[in-house]
Structure 1
Amino acid sequence: MKKRFLGSVMFHITLSLSSIIAIAIMTMFASYWITEQADIDAYAINVGGSLRMQTYQIGFYTNTGLTDEAEKATLLFEKKLDSPIFSQLRQSTDVISVLNDLKLFWYEELKPNLSQNNPLLTQHLATQVLLANKMVTLLQNNAEHRIVLLRTIQLVAVFITLILGVLIFYLMKLWIQTPMAQLTQAAHAIGKGDFTQRVHVKGDDELALLAATLNHTCDAIAAMYGQLEKRVQEQTQELKRNNKALLFLFSTVRTMLEKQGHKIDYQKLLDQLTELINIQNIELCLMTAHGETPYLHLHNQQMKDHLCVAKNCNICFGDAVFTNIEKPDNTLYPLVYNNINYGVLVVSNDQTMSTHSWQNQLVQSVADQIALSLNLADQHNKERRIALLQERTVIARELHDSLAQALSYLKIQVTRLDFSQKKLQYDQQQPIIDELRLGLDSAYRQLRELLTTFRLKVLDEGLYPALNKTLELLTEQSDMHFSLNFAIQQVPLSPMEEIHLLQIAREACQNTVHHSQGRNVWIDVKQTHTNTVVLTISDDGIGITKTAKLNHYGMAIMQERAKQLNGELNISDRLGGGTEVMLTFTPQNSTAQ
C-alpha cells in the first residue's frame, strides 16, 4: 500500500514556504539594488543646483568688479564641476552628455569671457545656467524614476505574494485541511464504535496513505467485530445452555438429597433431561445392588424401539460409558457407584454424541447423581437396620438387667413358697408373700420406667426442644421448679449422643422429683474451651448421702449411658445443700476435628 503513495505533504508545504520566501528575498534584493543606486542622487542634485547658483555669483562678482570674490567663486565652481560625485553616478547617457557640454562650455566659452563690461557675458551666463538646469532636471528625473521603479517592484511583489498566498491557502485547504477534517471526523466516529466510516482522500501523500490505512483498518475491525459478535452470541447461547444444565443438575441433586428415603419421580427427571439435551430416545433401568433384572423401567413416550424389549440385561453391564455393538446408535451410561451397579441409562440417537460434547457430560453427570442417590439410599437403609438392631440390643439388655432379673427373683420366691407349701411351713409363707408383693411392685415400676424410656424421643427440632418438653412433663407431675441453661447450640451432636443426654437428664430429674425433697432443679448444658460437653443436674434437696432410698437401677442406667458416650458420670453432694449429677464427655464430631 505504501508504494502507491510516494508523495509528501511536507513537500507541498516546503514548496509553498519556499515560494513566499523566494519572492520576499527577490523583492528585498531589488529594493536594495534600487536604493543603492539612488543613494547619491540627492547629493548630486544638490551639487548640480549649486553649480547654477555659482554661475549667478560669478556673473554678479564679475559685473561689479569684485575680482577676488569672482576668482573664489570660479575656483569653487570648477571644484564642484569636477566633483567625484558625478563620476560615481550611474546615470543615463543624457546626463553624461549634458555634464560634458557643461564642462566644455565653461572652459571654452564662459571662463575666457569673464571680464567686466563684456557684452557676451550675460548671454554665456544664461547658457551656462540653462545647461546646469538641464542636468539638475535630468538628475531629478532619474531619481524619481528609481523611486517609481521601487514602488512598482514592491506593488508587484505584494500582488504576487497575495496571489501566491491565496493559491497556497486554497491548495492547503484542498490538500491538508479537508483531508484532516475528514480524518478527524472519521476518527471521532470510529472512537464511538462506528466502523462503517470511510475517508475518500485523493492524492499520493501521507494523508492519502493515512486515509487508505484507516479505511483498511475499519474494514478489518468491522470484520473482526462481526466475528466477535457472532462468537459472543455463540458464547451467550452456550452460557444459557450451561446455566440451564447447571440449574437442572442442582435441582436434581437437591431433589435426591431432600427425598432420601422417599420415592423419587424418575420419570419427571427423564422428561426434563430429554427436553434439555433435545434427544427424544432415553430410557432408564434401575436394579438392586445384587439384582440382574430391573425392578423399574422408564422411557419417553415418544420412543418406539426400546433396548430393553430384548430382556437381555447382560449387554447393559459395564463400569463406564460404552456403545452397544448391536445398536451403535445406543450409548449406555451404567449407574455404578463404589463398584455397585444400580442399572443403566440408555440414550438412543441417530448421530452418536461425541465423547466431549456437553450432552454426553450432562447425561454422565445425571447417571452419576442417580447412582449416588441410590447408593445413599442403600446406606440409609443399612444405617436404619443397624440402628434398629442396636435399639433391639439396648431393649434386650435393659430387659435383661431389670425386668428379667426381677422376674427371676420372683420365680425364686415362688419356688420358696411352693416348697413351704409342700412342707406345710405356713408360718414362713407370709414373709415370702410380702417379698413377692414387693418384687411385683418393683417389677411393675421398672416396667413403667422402661416404657417411659423407650417412648422418649428427640424431636425433629433437636435436643433443646426435647429437654424443654421433658421438663414441662415433670413440672406437671410435681411441684418442683426446673431451670434450663442450654449453651451448646453451636455443638453438632449425633442423634445417639442427643438420646443419651436426654435420657440421663430425664433420669436425674426424676430422681430429684422422687428423692431430693427439694424445690428447685437446675439443668446446665455447656461446652468448655477443650470442646468437652458438660451436663449438670443439681437440686436444693437433702443430698445424696441422706437419701433413704435411691433408685439404684436408674443410677446403673445412667452409668451405662455415660459409658456409651465414652464419658464420665459423677454424683455428689452439692455445695450449699442438695445433689449434683455431672456428665462430662467429648462429642464425636469434636474428636474428628
Structure 2
Amino acid sequence: MKKFQTLAAKLGIIGGLLLLAASVSIGYTLWASWQLEGGAAAVNEAGRMRMQTWRLAQTLARGDPAHIEAQADQFEQSVALLRNGDPARPLFVPRDARSTDAFADVQRAWTLVRGHWTASPVPDSAQAAAEAEDFVKHIDRLVSAIEGRLSYLTAILNMLQVFMIGLTIASAVTLLYSAYIFVFNPLERLKTGLARVREGDLTARVKVDSNDEFGTLSEGFNRMAETLQELYQNLEVKVEEKTERLAAQNARLSTLYEASAFAAHAATFDELASGFARLARLAVKADATAVRWTDEANQRYLLVASDGLPTEISESEKCIPTGGCHCGQQHAQAGTRVIPIHPAHPGSFGHCSKAGFSTVIGVPVKLQDRMVGELDLFFNVPATLTDEDRVLIETMGSHLAVALEGLRAGALEREAAVAAERNLLAREMHDSIAQSLAFMKIQIGLLRGAIRHADEPRVERTVGELDAGIHESLSDVRELLLNFRTRTSGEDIIPALRTTLQKFEHQTGLATHLSVEGHGVPLPADVQVQVLHVVQEALSNIRKHAHATEVWLDVQQEPPWRVTVRDNGCGFVSGAVQNDRHIGLRIMHERAERIGAAVLIDSMPESGTRIVLTLPERRRLAA
C-alpha cells in the first residue's frame, strides 16, 4: 500500500478517475453524435424514396416499361443503401427494434409493389396512385421510427452535456481541494520552517503527517536543520580545516602549473632536470632531491640533476646499476616507494645513512610503458606520503617524462631537418657541380695527352672546353646560391616568385613576365618551398638548354593551383623526355611527387617549351 501513499499516486488516482469519467462521457457523446448523423442521413434518404415512389407511379401512368425498370432499380439502390448503410457519410438505419421493424415492413411492401408494377399488364394510373400512397405510408412509419430514435438520442446528448458541465466544475473543485490538502498546505509548512531557519532559528522543525513526497521532504528538512545545528556548534573548526585543505590544494595546483610552465619553456636537458629537482623539493618540503635518467634497456641510472644533495652522494652515485641500490628501480617493479632508513642497519643504506637521511621516496618517471628515469626525495626525519602528495609528485614525474620526450623529439626533428637540408644540398651539387667537375677532369686528362703529343689544335679545343666548363660550374654555383637564398614569406608565394624572376632576368639578360590570376587561399609553407624549387629548376633548364629570349610565368591561384613556365626557345621532342638524360626534369618530377602534384612538359622543336605544375586539392595538401 506504500505506493498509493505518494503524492504522485494520490493525484494520479484522483486525476485518473476524473479522466475516466470524462472519457466515458466524451465517448458516449461521440457515439450519440454519430448515431444522430447516420439517422438524419437515413431520414433524408427515406424522403428521397417517397419522391421516387411518386415519380414511379407517374411513369406507370405513361406506360413506359424501360423507364419503369430503371426507376425501380434506382429505388432498389436506395433500399440497399438503407439496409447496408454508408459509414463514410455516415448513413444507416438506427438499430432499435421500432426502426428495424419499420424498415423490414418497407422492404416487404416494396417487394410486393415492385412485383405488381413491373408485371404485365401494368396497373392504370388510379390504381398506381392508390398503391403509391399506401406504400408511402410504410415509408412515413419508417421516418417516424427513425425520428423517434433521434429524439431519444438528442435527449441523452443534452443530458450528457449537462453532466459534462457538472463534471468539469466538480473536477476543478476536486483538484483545487486536493492541491490544497496535498501540496499547498505542506508547502506552506515547509516555507514557514525555512523562514525560521533563515532568521537563525536552527531549532525549527516541520511536522511530518504523511508518507508522500512532502513527508519525505519534511523529514529531510528536519535532518538538515539538525545537521546545521550540529555544524554551527563547531563551524570555526571545520572552516579552518577546510581552509587549510583548500590552501594545500591550491599550493599543489600552483606547483603543477609552475612545473607545466617550466617544462614548456625549458630549453635544455640540464635546465629541465635542475628545475624539476628544485620544484619537487619545494612541493613536498623535502631536504634534498635527485633526478636520475635511465637508458633504453634500463640497465643503469645516471644522476643528471640534484638539489640540496650532499656532494659525497652526488659524486659517488653519478651512475648506479639498476637494482644496485634502493634508488634506481627496475622497470618491471617500478612504482612510488617510501623507503625508511633504519639506524640499526646503516650499512645497507650507504651514503644516505651517513648523510643523516631518515627516509627516501623514489618516484619512477615513466612515459606510457617506457621507463625514462627516477625522481628521488630525501628527508632528514621519518616521513610519509599522503595520497594528495603522492598524486602531486607522480603527476610532476609525468610532466618531467613528457618534457624530456619533447626535448628528445625536438632534437630529433632538428637533426632530421639538418639532414634533409644536407641531402638537398648534396643532391643539387651532385646534379650540377659534381657532373661539371667530372667533365673537366676528363678534359684535363685529354689536355695532358694533347700537350704530351704537342697537338696545338687539340690543346686549344680542350682549353676552350675547360673554360666553358668552368663558366658552367660558376653559373651552377651562383644558381645554387640564388635558390638557397630565395625563401617564401610564409603567407604568399608570389613575392618569392617575383624575386626569383628578377634575379633570373638580371643573371641571364632574358625578358621575364609574371601573370597572376585569382585570389586563392595561400599554400602551406612546405608546399610553397617545393613549388618555388620546381620553378627555379625550370628556369635553370631554360638558361642551359632553351636558347630563349623571353620567359613567362603564369600563376593561377584558384583551385586547383596551376603554375606554368613558358619560353620561346628551341624546344625538343616531348616523347623523348622519359628516355632523356636531363637531370633537371627528373628533379622537378621528384619535387612534385612530394606534395602530390603533377608536372606536364609540352614542347615541340622550334616552338618553345611549356612546363605546367598542377597542385592537388587543398584537402589532399592538408593530408
Q: TM-score, normalised by structure 2?
A: 0.49
State whether structure 2 residue 499 is matched by structure 1 residue 472.
yes
User: In the superposition, relative to structure 1, how do residues 245 and 583 fare at CA in structure 2: closer, same or farther (>3 Å)?
Assistant: farther
1:542 alignment partner, one of 537, 558, 568: 568
SS of the residue corresponding to residue 398 of structure 1 reads helix
The RMSD of aligned alpha carbons is: 5.1
Q: Whole-Å Cα distance in 2 between the matches of residues 196 and 240 of structure 1?
A: 30
Structure 1 residue 536: deviation in Å? 1.2
- Structure having the higher Rg: 1
* Match in the other structure for 2:555: 523
Q: Which amino acid in the other structure matches residue 485 of structure 2?
A: L
Deviation of 1:504 after TM superposition, in Å, equals 1.7
Who is 1:336 aligned against? 366
Aligned residue number for residue 561 of structure 1? 591
- Is residue 2:415 matched to residue 1:388? no
Q: Distance in 2 between matches of 1:397 and 1:188?
A: 85
Out of 335, 341, 344, the position equivalent to 1:321 is 335
Shift of 1:370: 1.3
- Deviation, 1:560, is 3.3
SS in 1 for 2:271: coil
Say if 1:239 and 1:579 are closer, same or farther in 2 by CA, change over 3 A: farther
Q: Distance in 2 between matches of 1:267 and 1:358?
A: 24
Count of residues paired in the alignment? 385
In the superposition, relative to structure 1, how do residues 340 and 408 fare at CA in structure 2: closer, same or farther (>3 Å)?
same
* 1:475–1:481 contact (8 Å) kept in structure 2: no
8 A Cα contact 1:568 1:584, kept in partner: yes
Query: C-alpha offsets along residues 298-332 of structure 1, whole Å, 9 cap, x if unaligned?
Result: 214xx679965752734222333242656372211
Structure 2, gaps ≥5 residues long: 1-188, 206-219, 342-357, 506-510, 574-579
Asked whether 1:264 is paired with 2:271, we answer yes
Q: Distance in 2 between matches of 1:273 and 1:416?
A: 74
- State whether residues 338 and 384 of structure 2, in contact with CA within 8 Å, keep that contact through their aligned partners in structure 1: no
Q: Percent of pairs identical after alignment?
A: 18
Paired residue secondary structure (2:302): coil
Task: Please tell me whether the aligned partners of residues 294 and 302 of structure 2 are also in contact (alpha carbons under 8 angstroms).
Answer: yes
1:313 counterpart SS class: strand
Give the aligned partner of residue 194 of structure 1.
Answer: 200
Comparing 388-397 with 401-410, greater Cα deviation is found at 388-397
- 1:359-413 per-residue CA deviation (whole Å, 9 max, x = no partner) reads 2112111112212222232233233334433433333333333222212222222
Q: Which secondary structure state, in structure 2, belongs to the residue aligned with residue 504 of structure 1?
A: helix
Note the alpha carbon deviations across 1:264-321, whole angstroms, 9 max, x for none. 3544444444444444543323466578453522214xx6799657527342223332
Match of 2:385 in 1: 353
Give me the whole-angstrom Cα distance separating, in 2, the residues matched to 1:324 and 1:215: 47
Q: How do 1:103-252 and structure 2 match up within 5 A?
A: 187=193, 189-190=195-196, 192=198, 194-196=200-202, 218-223=225-230, 241-242=248-249, 245-246=252-253, 248-252=255-259
Query: 2: CA distance between counterparts of 1:237 and 1:486?
Result: 65
CA contact (8 A) 2:202 2:228 kept: no
Structure-1 residue corresponding to 2:464 = 434
1:285 maps to which of 282, 292, 296: 292
Letter in 2 for 1:443: S
- For residues 579 and 513 of structure 1, the distance between their equivalents in structure 2, rounded to whole angstroms, comes to 12
Partner of 1:16: none
User: Quick check: 1:583 aligned with 2:609?
Assistant: no
Q: C-alpha distance in 2, partners of 1:214/1:410?
A: 103
Residue in 2 that maps onto 1:294: 302
Any unmatched runs of 5+ in structure 1? 1-182, 200-212, 529-533
Equivalent position SS for 2:587: helix
| Residue of structure 1 equivalent to 2:533 | 503
Q: 1:286 to 1:214 in 2, by over 3 A?
A: closer
Cα separation, 2, equivalents of 1:486 and 1:551: 36
Q: How far off is 1:568 after superposition?
A: 2.5
SS of residue paired to 1:336: strand
User: Secondary structure in 1 aligned to 2:481?
Assistant: helix
Contact kept, 8 Å, 2:504 with 2:539, in 1: the verdict is: no
Residues 1:185 and 1:262: Cα distance change in structure 2 (over 3 Å): closer
Alignment of 1:58-69 (within 5 A): none
Deviation track 1:451-482 (CA, whole Å, cap 9, x = no partner) reads 333x33757x63x3576345336436647454
Contact 1:322 1:332 in 2 (8 A): yes
Residue 456 (str. 1) matches residue 524 (str. 2): no
Letter in 2 for 1:321: G
Q: How far, CA to CA, are the matches of 1:446 and 1:195 in structure 2?
A: 96
For residue 438 of structure 1, report the CA deviation from its aligned partner: 1.7
In structure 1, C-alpha distance between the alignment counterparts of 2:514 and 2:426, rounded to whole Å: 32
Whichever residue aligns with residue 475 of structure 1, its letter is Q
CA distance in 2, matches of 1:385, 1:340: 23
Q: Which amino acid aligns with 1:562?
A: A
